[in-house]
Copies of this chain bind each other. A is one copy, B any other.
Amino acid sequence: MTAETDESFGDVTPDAARRLLLGAVEAFAERGFHATTTRDIAGRAGMSPAALYIHYKTKEELLFQISRVGHERSVHLMEEATAGDGSAAERLAHAVRSFARWHAEHHTTGRVVQYELAALSEQHYAQIVRLRRRTEDILRGVLQDGVASGEFAVGDIRGTALAVLSLCVDVARWFRPDSRRTPDEIGVLYADLALRMAGHRAG
């Protein structure tokens, strides 16, 4: 139950349900969904295995809640960073800095959100895919704006948008808290890399 995970699920009630969610995030991130036992999750939450089923119907529902909240947070970050009347370059930099930083700061949640999708039920998966599309659309829109305004030089907008997202998402895979870079430093570096990928001329 690190400070990291606390933040994203802070408003989940009752308290026991939140503790279970936090335990599940940690366990899923460490071992993966299928290698995690309900006993482990309940143990981390300081409860008996049976108590889990008072708050969640199945282990998969626990994964779905984590995935849903994480993806909603992603969409929100993207919307927030790209809203406003800045230039396309400013909005791209803001979005990438924020998105990459989130995947470093919340690498535990991020790992579950990005790499455990296959364990979701078909219906839950479909719901998550809709959220993922929104995130992609927002970023692609920023690249399109920049090309239209002449700020960016991008041949393949769809491919480049996918690549930029890909770069940010992958931070959750390799980031370690004892890394030589802080989450914000990663955000700053990645915002610069994204501008370069978009063919933005500095100055």
Contacts and interface: CB of A to CB of B under 8 A. Distances in A.
A166 B159 contact: no
Copies of this protein, total: 2
Contacts of A155: 192
Nearest to A100: B163
Interface stretch (A11-19, A28-36, A49-57, A70-78): A28-36
Contact of A196 (B162, B180, B197): B197
Contacts of A166: 166-167, 170-171, 173-174
Contact of A163 (B31, B118, B167, B180): B167
A190 interface: yes
Interface in A110-128: 114-115, 118-119
Contact of A167 (B114, B158, B167): B167
A178 interface: no
Interface residues of A, number: 34
Interface string A164-203: 0011011101100000110000100110110011010000
Contact of A34 (B34, B115, B171, B186): B34
Nearest to A30: B118
A190 to B, nearest CB: 7
20 contacts: A32-B118, A34-B34, A34-B35, A35-B118, A115-B115, A115-B173, A155-B192, A159-B186, A160-B193, A163-B167, A163-B189, A163-B193, A166-B166, A166-B167, A166-B170, A166-B173, A170-B170, A193-B197, A196-B197, A196-B199
Given A163-B193, A193-B197, 8 more contacts: A115-B173, A159-B189, A166-B171, A166-B173, A167-B167, A167-B170, A196-B197, A197-B197
